[in-house]
Amino acid sequence: MNESFLLTILILSPLLGIVLLSVMPGNHRFINYMGVLGTVLPLVLTLIVFSLFDRTVSGVQFVEYRQWFELMTSISPNEPYTVAYDLGVTGLSVLFLMLASLITFLASLTALRLKESAKGFYILFLLLELGLLGVFVSENLFLFFLFFEITLVSMFLLVGKWGGFNREKAAFSFMIYNGIGSILLLIVIIVLFVEMKTTNITELTMLLKETDSLEFLSGDTRTWLFVLLLIAFGIKLPIVPFHTWMVRVHVEAPIAVVMIHAGVLLKIGAYGLLRFGVGFFPQQLKDMAVVLAILGVINLLYGAFIALVQTELRSVLAYSSISHMGIVLLGVASFNTAGLQGAVFQTISHGLIAALLFLLVGVIVDRFHTTKLEELGGVASQAPLFAGFLLAAGLASLGLPGMSGFISEFLAFLGLFESMPVIGSVGILGLILTAVYMLRAVLAVTFGERRPLFDGIRDLTAVEIVPSAILLSIIIWIGVYPAVLSNTLQLARTIGIGG
């Protein structure tokens, strides 16, 4: 295959913005715009990758391979452990890539409001983007981990510096939980590396499949590795009970960051689970599918129930994310094409919807300076456009057909009902609960008597309408024409399982 440097250029493209920003004086008028511009380049490049991506062939595309370094032991110097710089995209990752750069761009728009130390913010923001892009184009576990950690550090700083009142606590909570997750991941990576002498994802997938005779790793070891992987990505996803950090971050982090966090960062968990969990340990996954499904149902219902009684919009949305990620787990647990496809769809869809919701929450914070549900209400009178978007987002989130959420949940449950109808029946109650809490929250904000306090509040401005409209139209687009995802995804080829 021809070598192209497109992906390298792509992941390094945020650096341009970083460099330009760092040479600009910190109080420059256009610093925010520069930051936004910095995210445009990656977006453009992602679009190029997305459009050049050949949907008719299988396998990894845009492959770049360079040997990076070798580890040699003095005892057996002729069998080095090779770590490579190894990029490539599959149907799965190209979707996540698209999601990442799009939401980053849109999130950067919402940060235009930022007044204080915008330079640092945007530099870290772009660094975060670099990490995200890298995570999704890594064809290699080592690189994956590397970029994963970049997101960790930049997130920590972003939350800790620009967050809300309890930002430092949230930042540490983020760091600790994700730190544990990342090290568990590292352990898995290293065990695979030590045993297989490679970290290339595709190669590992093949090797692990071929060596089903358990020549390399015993079944027990594989089970353990899978469990570790599950915890590692489960923290990220998050799976109850590893979710508290995520609620804190949702509540405390600056809106632009929460958009990325809810929209993309959490999705790394799903991505990892799909790419590595399903790819490397299909048998183990199958064996533990029931456990996974039960975890999924717990997530789904647990998040939904708690969201039902939250009094603060951000917390509602945080628990809603937990609930929605339960569906991803269910999709994975079903372990058939429909379910897995549903899991992917749900991940992407929730990324978009969560980003939209938090974008709107950002507006609430900006205009009303509160996110307490009881202090809000009747906003539709003063800001009908905003109310309309919020309502649309809420409906999308509760899985309204014609929007992306529906098709994802549909597929996930469709899959689940094949393999585990009983668990599916319990889980599907979550859909009702979702409607209950989502409507409760959204209606509490938009509906209700007009409050004179909010008279004179500005409705959405152009810079808010544009991203909201883009997100909403993509949500609807996917909802109406899901083939846009499934054509690219080509699940069977990507993850390598048959139906």
Nearest approach, Cβ of 293 to other proteins (angstroms)?
14
Pick from 341, 382, 404, 468 the residue near other proteins by CB under 8 A: 341
Pick from 375, 418, 454, 465 the residue near other proteins by CB under 8 A: 418
Pick from 68, 216, 454, 477 the residue near other proteins by CB under 8 A: 68
Nearest approach, Cβ of 288 to other proteins (angstroms)?
19
Nearer to other proteins, 100 or 306 (CB): 306
Nearest approach, Cβ of 153 to other proteins (angstroms)?
6
Pick from 166, 211, 244, 461 the residue near other proteins by CB under 8 A: 244
The CA distance from 161 to 120, in Å, is 10
Nearer to other proteins, 14 or 43 (CB): 14
Best CA proximity match to 133, nearest among 327, 265, 33, 275: 265
Nearer to other proteins, 311 or 461 (CB): 311
Q: Is 487 in the site for other proteins (CB under 8 A)?
A: yes
Phi-psi region of 39 (alpha: psi -120 to 50; beta: other; left: phi over 0): alpha
x/- binding map, residues 189-228, to other proteins, per CB under 8 A? -xx-xx----------------------------------
Residues in 452-471 at the binding interface with other proteins, rule: CB under 8 A:
none
Under 8 Å between Cβ of 124 and 159: no
Q: Is 411 in the site for other proteins (CB under 8 A)?
A: yes
Contact segment (CB under 8 A) with other proteins among 28-36, 74-82, 203-211, 285-293 equals 74-82
Pick from 16, 33, 34, 161 the residue near other proteins by CB under 8 A: 161
Nearer to other proteins, 43 or 383 (CB): 383
Best CA proximity match to 252, nearest among 178, 180, 315: 315
Cα dihedral value 260, 261, 266, 268, nearest 10: 50
Pick from 184, 201, 348, 460 the residue near other proteins by CB under 8 A: 184
Nearest approach, Cβ of 135 to other proteins (angstroms)?
12
The CA distance from 384 to 393, in Å, is 14
Q: Is 308 in the site for other proteins (CB under 8 A)?
A: yes
Nearest approach, Cβ of 149 to other proteins (angstroms)?
5
x/- binding map, residues 97-126, to other proteins, per CB under 8 A? -----------------------x------
Token look-up 């590396």 returns: 193
Q: Residue 78 in 3-state DSSP?
A: coil
The residues that bridge with 67 in the sheet, in sequence order, are 84
Contact segment (CB under 8 A) with other proteins among 52-60, 272-280, 335-343, 363-371 equals 335-343
Pick from 78, 116, 374, 449 the residue near other proteins by CB under 8 A: 449
Q: Residue 165 in 3-state DSSP?
A: coil
Nearest approach, Cβ of 71 to other proteins (angstroms)?
6
The sign one gets for the Cα dihedral 14, 20, 25, 31 is negative
Best CA proximity match to 342, nearest among 409, 297, 292: 409
Nearer to other proteins, 214 or 309 (CB): 309
Q: Is 447 in the site for other proteins (CB under 8 A)?
A: yes
Q: What are phi and psi of 139, to 5 degrees?
A: -105, 20
Q: Is 356 in the site for other proteins (CB under 8 A)?
A: no
Name the amino acid, one letter, at 271: Y
Q: Is 179 in the site for other proteins (CB under 8 A)?
A: yes
Under 8 Å between Cβ of 124 and 157: yes
Under 8 Å between Cβ of 254 and 193: no
Contact segment (CB under 8 A) with other proteins among 9-17, 279-287, 364-372, 413-421 equals 413-421
Phi-psi region of 240 (alpha: psi -120 to 50; beta: other; left: phi over 0): beta
Total residues found in the chain within this entry: 499
- Concatenating the DSSP letter of every residue in 87-152 gives EEE-HHHHHHHHHHHHHHHHHHHHGGG--TTHHHHHHHHHHHHHHHHHHHHB-BHHHHHHHHHHHH
Contact segment (CB under 8 A) with other proteins among 175-183, 254-262, 269-277, 464-472 equals 175-183
How many residues in the shown chain lie near other proteins by CB under 8 A? 91
Q: What are phi and psi of 85, to 5 degrees?
A: -95, 115
Q: Is 95 in the site for other proteins (CB under 8 A)?
A: no
Nearest approach, Cβ of 83 to other proteins (angstroms)?
8
Q: Is 160 in the site for other proteins (CB under 8 A)?
A: yes
Residues in 6-65 at the binding interface with other proteins, rule: CB under 8 A:
none
The CA distance from 333 to 497, in Å, is 14
Q: Is 302 in the site for other proteins (CB under 8 A)?
A: yes
DSSP state of 223: H
